[in-house]
Every structure is written in structure tokens, then in C-alpha cells.
Structure 1
Amino acid sequence: MSKIERDPVTGYTTTGHDWNGIKELNSPIPRAVIIFIIVTHLAALIGWILLPTWPLGRTFTKGVLEVDQKTDLAADIAAANTARADWMARMATLDFDAIRADPDLMARALETAAPLFGQNCEPCHGKNGIGGPGFPQLSDNAWIWGGTSEDISKTITVGINSAHPDSRFAQMPAFGRDEMLDRTQIGMMTSYVQSLSNGFIANDPSEAATLFQDNCAACHGEDARGVEGTGALNLTDAAWIYGGDAASIWQTLMNGREGHMPTWQSRLSTADIRMLALYVEAMPGKLQ
């Protein structure tokens, strides 16, 4: 029978383990730890009884309180929709001038549209509508299909080159790929189009200007300022969708362009679309 050894300082017995003269004491678990373990186990047991806890195949135990966060969330959403039903109905039916004339309604529209823009528009048009390669900037005054709330609302609704039956349509021909212009002419047109940002020269007798009038003026206008509502850009300003450098213009003339914007009619409500239109119309930079 082994001899029980007791530590003379603490009074605790030893476990018999010895490491180079250092002996392990058989000290009891602190009372605070025991109390903590008991309390946490009791809390877990109470939680199992009161709250949804254990999976049971395709279902789970509901708990005495029958707490259901999905139901609570649905109820909260329904309450929020009810609370804003009145002004949302006005948003969907009033004309834009009437909405702008109502400060409270306009404030609600801009506040509500901000997250809508972030969720649905920002991935392409960028934060604050700054645009990016292939996607036009929305915070300036350069518009292809019109920059009023009415025009913007229609564009959001039907899209551009989308599946909507009333979609806006625009396509830049591939002058080089489809052999409408040869490479020399493409080069001349590239330099000419790039120079338009410095101002259009009327009655320009150059060959490049003649090529422009013969091939481009029908869409971009004889003065190269574009025709709003046709999808043709103003080539005399600093706003470019695909880039205004020589290489980008060459690619555009050679291979053409065909942008795409989806129709949002099936995803957003009429009120949502109209709020977004007001939000985009009011973006910083519009009146500068």
C-alpha cells in the first residue's frame, strides 16, 4: 500500500508525480469554477427547454416559448411596409414635380433610394455613380438617354439592349471588323475623334472629317455632340464610357460596342424605380 504524502506548506496531498524534485499537489478545483460550471449547465438546460434547440431530421424542437426569428422578421417587415404604405403609394402615383415639391416626401425618397442604389446600381456604376470602363458616370451632366427623372425612370424600367420588349436599343457598328473602313481610315478616324474633345471644327475639309460625316454623323450628329435618346455619345466633351485614349477609340471603331443594362421592372417596384430616378437626378455634380 502506497504511503500518502502531504505537503507541509499547503496541507494538500500529492499525486505521486515527481519531476526532478517538483511534486504535483492534489489540490481541489476552485469553488468559483465549480459554481461557474453548474450555472452554465443550468443555463443551457433552461435554454434547451425554452428555445428552439435540437434538430429532429427536417424539423427541430420548438421550445416552450416557440421563438421563431423568421416569423418575427416577417412580422417586422410587414409592419414596416404598412407604416410606409401611404407615402410609397404617393411615390408610385404622383408626378415627379409633385414629389420634388414635397420636402418630406423627397427626403424619404432620397434616404430610401441610397441603399437601393448601393445594392442594385453601384456594382456597375460605382460608388456615388462615378462610373467605370464600360459603365457611364451618373454624377455628371453627360447623358445618352436623358437625365431627367422621367428619362432615368424609363431607362431603369426597360433597360438598354435588354430582354424587355420596350428596351432602349443602341449598337456601335464594327467599322473595321466588318470592313466598312480600312485600317488607314480607322487610324485617321481615331485621331479625328480624339481631337473632338478640343472642339468641333465646322466645315472641316479634311478626309477624316469627311469620313466622320459619311459614317458617324447619322448617330453622333453633324456637330459630333450626339443625339440624346439614340444612345450615341457626345464626342466633344470629356465623358467617355470605353476610354478616350487612342487605343480605346481604335478598339471601338474596329470592333464596335454594344452596352447592356438589364431591365429592373421585375426586381424593383414602381416606387423603388421612381425613387432611384430622383436619387440619380440629384447626385452631386449635376448642377456644376
Structure 2
Amino acid sequence: MADKHKHVDEVSGVETTGHEWDGIRELNNPMPRWWVYSFYATIIWAIGYAVAYPSWPMLTEATKGVLGYSSRAEVSAELANAKAAQAGNLERIAASTVEDIMADPELRQFAIAAGASVFKVNCAQCHGSGAAGGKGFPNLNDDEWLWGGKPEEIYQTIAHGVRHQGDGETRVSEMPAFADMLAPEELRATAAYVVSLTGTPSNPALVEPGKQLFADNCASCHGADAKGSREFGAPNLADAIWLKGEGEQAIVDQMRSPKHGVMPAWLQRIGDPVVKELAVFVHSLGGGE
């Protein structure tokens, strides 16, 4: 029997809840049985879950549940299994040369994956996350290498660095400051010749005198063809790839007062196996020889 104090919808004859929005009233129909049963089932499920699994926080820890399950223990077990699976490859890398790693497809793939992670932590700050480098920092994706792009040569560079004080095997190259040797007009002429190898200088008339100046002062390191020398770490000047800056003025500045970069020696910091992984990874980027 309807409560006489409650409003009853004239069309359906069903009591309303008393709620009204812009003249629209809500019918007080009972919830569908399937919904009610589902709701009760979720309550029962929640109680069972709370009994079976850790759930209720206490002062120092949560209830452990009758099943004794622990997500932390599960993660720890997975990490232990992963380390055990890696241990064999890590031992093989430690006992192998870079050439041996390159010759073993499975070990090479493992080294590439490991080296990629190490690169992001230790090398990306200078060479970029994609190893494309930047001004003053070499691009490791191309095929231009100051010291060589073979796996063992890359290993040597990473292990002992470039101009790293305290490492007797570090890569060392030194370009003299030509401001003490050549007049300003001679510097400009030499720069004009270097630019002419890949482009058009601002004053083509300076190319011929600059060519002779280059032969007299620069060819001993950069080569008569200006294609560089890995023995001295002298860059190729005929490939339009510029590490310190592009253009005639940048070349003049570098000749006048050279900038010499420094790369850390990583062997003592991260260990021989990790340096091998890095060398294999860098070689895999596409510019390795």
C-alpha cells in the first residue's frame, strides 16, 4: 500500500523517491535481482580475498592472509631468476674478447641489450639518447671515426678515454695554436681552402694560397688529401662533418685557439665486461666498421 505522504507517479503508479530535478521525479523502483545478487557476490568475494591475501594494514605490517602470498617475494624471485639467467652470459662476456663476442650471435645480442642500458646511464648525457651527438660531442651513428670504428678500437676508446689524465693508454691528439705561427690573413686563406673541399668559400681567390698553407702546416696530421689520420686522431676535413663548429669563421677560430675535448676512461669505473658491452652496442648503431 502506498504511503499517502509520498508522491506517486500518475502514469506508472509507482512511488517516487522525493527527489526532483527541473520537474523530473525519480521512480522508487527496486533494484534488479541480478544486480542485487551480483552486489552480494562482490561482498562475499571481498571478504574471501581479505582472508586469503594480505590486505588489512596493522601497526608494523599487513595481515599475511592464509595463502601466505607476497608480491614482493614474487618480484624478488623473478629478479633472482633473471640474474641467474644472465650470470652465464656475463661470465662468458668477461672471459671473451670483443671479437669473440661479435662472432657469437647469442652473446652479441645479449651484449647489445646490456650495452644499450649502460649507454643511457653513462653516455647519453654527452652523446645524446640516440647517440647522435652534438656540438663538441661525436655522432656515434655515422661512419666517421677519429680513432677507428672497429669493435676493438671502440673498446680501446671507451676503456681509456680521450685526453684522460691518469690513464697511460688514453687517446691523445693535440692541435697546435696557429695564431702564433700564421698571420690572420693566412688563417683565413687556409680556412677558405678547407671550406672549398665541401662547399664554396666566401672568397674563392684565397683557395690556392690556402692550399699551399694547408700543405705546409696541416697535411702532416690531416693528410695531403685532408681526409684525416686515425693515427693522430686528426679529423677528416673533406666530409662536411664538423665537430667543433661549421663555417669559415669556426675553422679560423679552431686554428687560432684549438678546442680539445675530453672523454673519461671508463674501464676503472664500470669494469671490463661492461666496457665490452658498450663497445658492441656502439658498433651496432650502424656506423661501426
Q: Compute the TM-score of the two structures, normalised by the length of structure 2.
A: 0.70
User: Do residues 25 (structure 1) and 27 (structure 2) align?
Assistant: yes
Q: Is the 8 A contact 1:144 1:231 kept in 2?
A: yes
Q: Is the 8 A contact 2:99 2:151 kept in 1?
A: no
What does residue range 31-42 of structure 1 map to in structure 2 within 5 Å? 31-42=33-44
Q: Which residue of structure 1 lines up, in the alignment, with residue 254 of structure 2? A: 252
Return the match for 1:206 from 181, 191, 209.
Answer: 209
Q: Which residue of structure 2 lines up, in the alignment, with residue 189 of structure 1? A: 190
1:28 Cα deviation after fit: 3.3
1:152 Cα deviation after fit: 1.0
Q: Is the 8 A contact 2:127 2:134 kept in 1?
A: yes
SS in 2 for 1:151: helix
Q: Which residue of structure 2 lines up, in the alignment, with residue 138 of structure 1? A: 140
Structure 1 segments unaligned to the other structure (5+ residues)? 199-203
Distance of 1:190 and 1:72 partners within structure 2: 65
CA 43–16 in structure 1, closer or farther in 2 if over 3 Å, else same: closer
Q: Which residue of structure 2 lines up, in the alignment, with residue 281 of structure 1? A: 283
SS in 1 for 2:267: coil
Q: Deviations over 1:98-154 (max 9, x none)?
A: 334444434444455455556654564457654443322334432212222222112
Structure 2 segments unaligned to the other structure (5+ residues)? 200-206
Return the match for 2:96 from 78, 94, 101.
Answer: 94
One-letter identity of the residue aligned with 1:256: P
Q: Is the 8 A contact 2:144 2:287 kept in 1?
A: no
Distance of 1:189 and 1:6 partners within structure 2: 100
Distance of 1:33 and 1:170 partners within structure 2: 79
One-letter identity of the residue aligned with 2:228: G
Tell me the matched-pair count: 278
Distance of 1:160 and 1:173 partners within structure 2: 17
Q: Is the 8 A contact 2:160 2:266 kept in 1?
A: yes
1:63 Cα deviation after fit: 2.6
Q: Which residue of structure 2 lines up, in the alignment, with residue 228 of structure 1? A: 230
Identity in percent:
35
CA 68–19 in structure 1, closer or farther in 2 if over 3 Å, else same: closer
Distance of 1:151 and 1:227 partners within structure 2: 14
Distance of 2:219 and 2:192 partners within structure 1: 16
Distance of 2:73 and 2:267 partners within structure 1: 28
SS in 2 for 1:206: helix
Q: Which residue of structure 2 lines up, in the alignment, with residue 153 of structure 1? A: 155
1:235 Cα deviation after fit: 1.9
What does residue range 100-119 of structure 1 map to in structure 2 within 5 Å? 100-110=102-112, 112-117=114-119
CA 192–270 in structure 1, closer or farther in 2 if over 3 Å, else same: same
Q: Is the 8 A contact 1:217 1:224 kept in 2?
A: yes
SS in 2 for 1:271: helix
SS in 1 for 2:89: helix
SS in 1 for 2:137: coil
One-letter identity of the residue aligned with 2:188: G
Q: How much is the aligned-residue C-alpha RMSD, in angstroms?
A: 4.1
1:282 Cα deviation after fit: 4.6
Distance of 2:141 and 2:22 partners within structure 1: 77
Q: Which residue of structure 2 lines up, in the alignment, with residue 201 of structure 1? A: none
SS in 1 for 2:152: helix
Q: Which residue of structure 1 lines up, in the alignment, with residue 15 of structure 2? A: 13
Distance of 1:42 and 1:173 partners within structure 2: 83
Q: Is the 8 A contact 1:164 1:263 kept in 2?
A: no
Q: Which residue of structure 2 lines up, in the alignment, with residue 168 of structure 1? A: 171
